Structure formats: C-alpha cells, structure tokens
C-alpha cells in the first residue's frame, strides 16, 4: 500500500517542486478523522452523501492539494471531468472506477485498498460504490473543478 500512496503523490510532488514549497504536515488516522468534513467540496462530483476532507493544500487555489473523499455504500457518481491531472489511491472499502463520457457498469474496475488510478485533465470518468463504502485520497494541482458530461440524447 505504501508504494501505491507514493505513486499517487508523485504527481503532486512534481507539481509542487515547480511552484512554492509544500508545507510539512503529518496526520495520523485519528487526526484525519477529526478534520472538518464538507458535503461535496471542490473537485468532487457533488453526489449525495459524499464527504470531503482537505488533507493538504487548497483545491480551490493554484498549488498542490490532497483531499480525502468518503463515499457511502450504494453511491453513483455520473460521468464528469476535472481541469487538472489527478492521481488517487483507495484507502478503504471498494471503489468501482471507469473512464468514458457515460457511466457504464460494464466499464468499471473494482479497486480495493491500495488500488491506484489516474484522472487525466479533461478525461471523463465515473465511479460508484456498491455494498461497501469507500475512502479515496485524491491529489492534484489546483485549482480544480468538476464538470458533468452532458446527458446523451435519446
């Protein structure tokens, strides 16, 4: 799992080296659980039930950031994209992630703790949980956003 976390943060650290230094921060799990959580949050899809915790940086401003995204069981996130490149690691639960302009259950891949994926800038993607909730750490270089794909015409 440590290798997956290191890989996820490579993108952010590379971006940080090109800009202002990233501040030191150490957060054991109990301190992460005590940080403020917001419904939705910058760079998330805004789907019902999602909670975001900012672990580092500020996703609404230029610079590196890392957020923790908590999704309850049976959450569906429609196809959307972000302006920034992002890298993610599944911390707990089961996260089903797919690429494409339309959410399609046949295109998701199950990712469990230690699983890694990328969200290339402008590349539409979607996600869901099934019977288990999930926590995912997402890192990028802000400002970030979320833009839903237009619904396909019948």
Give the predicted TM-score (pTM) of the model. Answer: 0.83
Domains of the chain, by residue range, sit at: 2-21+38-148
Place of tokens 């699983």: 115
pLDDT of residue 27: 87
Choose between 111 and 20: higher pLDDT: 111
pLDDT of residue 23: 81
pLDDT of residue 20: 61
**pLDDT tens-place string over residues 19-72:** 567 788 898 888 888 888 887 667 676 777 899 999 999 999 999 999 999 999
CATH architecture group of domain 2-21+38-148: Sandwich (2.60)
């Amino acid at each position: 799992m440590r290798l997956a976390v290191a890989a996820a943060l490579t993108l952010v650290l590379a971006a940080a080296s090109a800009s202002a230094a990233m501040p030191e921060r150490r957060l054991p799990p109990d301190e992460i659980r005590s940080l403020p959580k917001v419904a939705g949050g910058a760079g998330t899809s805004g789907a019902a039930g999602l909670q975001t915790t900012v672990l580092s940086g500020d996703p609404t401003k230029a610079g590196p950031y890392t957020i923790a995204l908590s999704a309850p069981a049976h959450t569906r996130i429609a196809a959307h994209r972000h302006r920034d490149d992002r890298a993610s690691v599944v911390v707990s639960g089961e996260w089903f992630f797919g690429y494409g302009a339309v959410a399609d259950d046949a295109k998701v891949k199950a990712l469990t703790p230690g699983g890694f994926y990328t969200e290339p800038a402008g590349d539409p993607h979607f996600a869901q949980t099934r019977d288990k909730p999930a926590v995912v750490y997402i890192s990028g270089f802000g400002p970030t956003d979320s833009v839903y794909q237009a619904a396909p015409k019948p």
